[in-house]
Chains A and B, each alone.
Chain A
Amino acid sequence: MTFLSFPFITLGIVSLLVGALWASKSANPRFAAIFAASCSFGSFLLCSLEVAKAGHTRLFDPWLSFFEADALDAVPMAFFAALTLLVIILAPKRDSGGKALAGILLLAAATQTTYAAANLAVLATGWWFTSLPFVLRMFGEDRSQKLAQGFLIASSIALTAAIAVLHHIEIDEISHASNLAFGLIILAVVLRKGLFPLHGWMISSFEHGPLLPLALLFNGHLGALLIARSETTALSLSEKHVLEFLSIAALVTALITSLRGFAEKKPRRMLGLLCLSQASFILAGIATASAEGITGALVHWLVVSAASTGLIAIVRVLEVRVSGSTDPTEHLGLAAKAPRLATFFLVCGLALIGLPGTLGYCAEDLIFHGALENHHWIGIALPIATAFNAINLLRIFNILFLGVLPKHVIDIPDALPRERWPLAVIVVFLIAGGIFPSKVLRWREEAAHEIEAGLGLDKAEHSEH
């Protein structure tokens, strides 16, 4: 066993938990916010240092050896820590009470635990804990959250059951029990990622739920992580039919949610459908079982996380500014008052749908090429979903930012400094990554190789040569 030189993972998670504890007890919301931001910044620093150390091999945490850093999880951990920090900074006052901040930090700690898990039991524990802030209603009392809670718990139960079954059988054994275990893992992924036909809870959460915590829950991409992890650990998900099923599920989700957007008028629901559709590309990319597709999927993971967090945060800050028009169906014309927020929204959205010049373009280009290699129908259908999503993105943009400014919107501020700089960071990442994609691809190259190795693709390539 090789260990990290410093307990980066343990300290990173502990700092988030300490922040959560402090925020929940703090009477002063301002101090709670500052402390929460500091803790998440600390976690981000530790994760970034860990990325520098983690490389080709698995490195275990010296304090808690059931945590590990490898090529697959190190970058997403740092990225998720950065997203947590951005969400805390971007959160409007009404969303950053002590309890809500504690919920966000708890969610972040649970997600980081899932990422860093060195075995399936720890992974399942982290998976369970991501539901905890919603079950404890740390983001307010909202009846619609019950649906999300139900699905999150169901997915956790499915994963736990799968692990329990796997514990009792030999991995290589082909039996009804192993099929059951794989079926349960797939069910956990479908429930968690909101794949068709079980995507309704995610859309409902976007419509009624707390947007910023949802951005973190959504961008954990734990379903994709589980599949990628299962492949790297050769959990026999290399059984082709499992990948076939996942690719079909992801493809159908991408297409149906993109199409569903045409029948919607509420920005929150449209945004939910857009994010869900584009996020399905990650799983579709991994399921292509080709080097290009897998690398594209892992880069798209970062694109979806950054861009959707930007979009969700902008929608939320606008809702807070324009009282009485939460989830409008008519045009709001806010570009006249908030041109910078409009620009940030447009850039994040265009990156999400893969406009050339943004990182999204490179990611989607790789996924489409990878898909054409092995799954032609994915390579043909995904561009169709992207086209539909692009139209829906412009519809959301039109509703929020174009048209006549309503009479009750007399004056609202454009992006505040606290909002401007985090959003600028996201936009710079998406554009600079698009102009110089090789750098970002290099971050994910090793993880892609690991997944390829899990699928036996590298051997197949060697034998071809």
Chain B
Amino acid sequence: MSLSALILTLVAVPGSLFILLSLLWLLGVKLPERAMSRLTKGAYAFLTLVTFVIAWRMWQSGQHSIRISIGDHWFKVAHYEFPLTLLLDRLSLPIVGITVILAGIVGSFSVRYLHRDPGFFRFFLLLHLFTFGALLVFMADSLDVLLGGWEIVGITSVLLIGFFQYRPDPVKNALRVFATYRVADLFMLMGVFLAHHWFKTASWNGMFNGEWPGHINNLNGTAATVVAVMLVFAASGKSSQGPFCGWLPRAMEGPTPSSAIFYGAISVHAGAYLLLRIEPLLHSSAIATGLVIFIGLTTAALGTLVHRTCADAKTSLAYASQTQLGLIFAEIGMGWTTLAILHVVGHALVRTLQFLRAPSMLHDYHRVHAAAGGHLEPTGEHYESLLPKQTQIVLYRIALGRGFYDAVVDRFIIAPVVAFARFLGVFEFRGGKP
């Protein structure tokens, strides 16, 4: 089997699984849990094998990147065409690898975790759709294809946050997360359209010369800075950074396995991946570079502060994730590419483990204490104790209020928008009367 065929298989398998299972459900075929479990485990084992075969063959042949085109284009009108090309290189391959491995682990874990849950089938449908979207993001050879996967990952994320649909909080939080995603995705859309408009290209090949890493930026000037800034904000939205840092704790309403794969492992790192991919463009603009570092460091500072006052395990992990992602952003901004990739892979693996262990955290806690031969007393020594008492109190207040992020957004963004929307009602009629 050629490398191109293997790469296509990698993307096609989860997509086909999603379509096949959806059709079965529509036709009223009820797949037993055991069959779903075997199908999922088999599919992800196969995908992992395919990824290893691709990596092995690339290493053997000394190829650093493979670019494949699916047909000439997806669609074409006049001078505008939408190319459908995929790229696997030294940046995407490790991330594709951890995506299929962690999706398989989470799928396997979920079989028991969601046993007899009414949403069992739905969860696996969405998991396959997510894997398809994530692979599309990481293997996209253009911003256009990346955007497609980006949005699919976003919608599956939201549907899984609202997984426990009979409880009000998940429903409310899913909507809030979706709204944040849509606003952040606006920057992505604008970035893509402006890249097309100004540079007549949104493909990696057109935007950069050479192979990653060490590829050279082809875009210059103010227009390039605008595109870079748009993409930085888009990446911030996906990775819960800077102005979009409020959604990650809300996303913890979903089932734990989905939190692990989305907010510990794959989805949140998509933003960092995008920044790594457009690194030369970022570094061609001092504004974009400064913005990435500023967003990363401020979010990391806020995240680590709030993380210390969270009462529940998953929210605490969410803020911890946010902190690490902030540091990854700063590393990318500073040009420490290798460190950033290692950080992404390491963080994804550790955080997935932590999320998956979160439901049995108390059990683990007692086991550790029992193994130590009794109750372990906390030392009470924390870095924050080095700060003056008054500063500690202020910071504690900020941390308890979670940086007052939600309050600020509610008061200064949502309330004025809704008030303006109400005002626009003067142009309408109620009850059939003007």
Give A residues with C-beta under 8 Å from B. Answer: 142-147, 196-197, 199-201, 203-204, 208, 256, 259-263, 290-292, 295-296, 331, 333, 335-336, 340, 343, 350, 355-357, 361-362, 365-366, 368-369, 372-373, 379-380, 383-384, 387-388, 390-391, 394-395, 398, 401-405, 420, 424, 437-438, 441, 445, 448, 461
Contact = CB atoms under 8 A, between A and B. Distances in A.
- A interface majority secondary structure: helix
Contacts of B421: 259-263
A298 to B, nearest CB: 11
A310 to B, nearest CB: 14
Contacts of B431: 144, 208
Contacts of B427: 196-197, 199-200, 256
Contact of A391 (B175, B197, B422): B175
Interface residues of B, number: 53
A365 B165 contact: no
Nearest to A273: B428
Nearest to A198: B427
Contact of A383 (B168, B186, B417): B186
B221 interface: no
A395 B414 CA distance: 15
Contacts of A296: 77
B193 A405 contact: no
Interface string B115-156: 000100000000000000000000000001001110110010
Interface stretch (B177-185, B203-211, B294-302, B342-350): B177-185
Contacts of A405: 166
A199 B148 CA distance: 33
A366 B422 contact: no
Given A350-B155, A369-B80, 18 more contacts: A201-B429, A262-B418, A263-B422, A291-B77, A296-B77, A336-B165, A356-B147, A356-B148, A369-B193, A372-B193, A373-B197, A379-B197, A380-B190, A391-B175, A391-B182, A394-B158, A404-B168, A438-B76
Contacts of B432: 142-147, 204, 208
Nearest to B430: A204
Given A263-B418, A331-B168, A441-B75, A368 B193 contact: yes
A203 B182 CA distance: 25
B148 A394 contact: no
A259 B185 CA distance: 17
Given A263-B421, A263-B424, A379 B77 contact: no
B76 to A, nearest CB: 8
Nearest to A380: B190
B371 interface: no
B240 to A, nearest CB: 18
A105 B434 CA distance: 30
B83 interface: no
Given A200-B434, A291-B78, A356 B429 contact: no
A199 B78 contact: no
Contacts of A356: 147-149, 151-152
Nearest to B172: A398
B425 interface: yes
B74 interface: yes
A50 to B, nearest CB: 25
- Kindly list the 5 A-B residue pairs having the minimum CB-CB distance in the complex, ordered from nearest: A144-B432, A291-B78, A356-B148, A263-B421, A200-B428
B199 interface: no
B196 A372 contact: yes
B420 interface: yes
A333 B165 contact: yes
B425 to A, nearest CB: 6
A390 B74 contact: no
